[in-house]
Amino acid sequence: MSSDMLDRSLVMEAVRVTEAAAIAAWALAAFAIGAVAGVLIRRVVPAMAAALAAWSGLLLATLLYLRQHYQAPLTARAGQTSLSSWVIGNWWTGPNGRRVTSEHQIIALLNGGVHRGYAQWAIYQPGTRYWHFQLIEGGWLLALSLLLIAATIWIVRRRAA
**Taking Cα atoms as reference points, which of 105, 107, 104, 128 lies closest to residue 117?**
105
Q: What is the pLDDT of residues 89-134, one digit of tens each?
A: 888 887 778 887 777 666 666 666 566 777 888 898 898 888 888 8
Domain containing 63 equals: 3-160
How many domains, in total, are found in the chain? Answer: 1
- Given a cut of 90, whether residue 31 has pLDDT beyond it is yes
The reported pTM is: 0.76
15: pLDDT confidence band, cut at 50, 70 and 90?
A: low
pLDDT of residue 9: 60
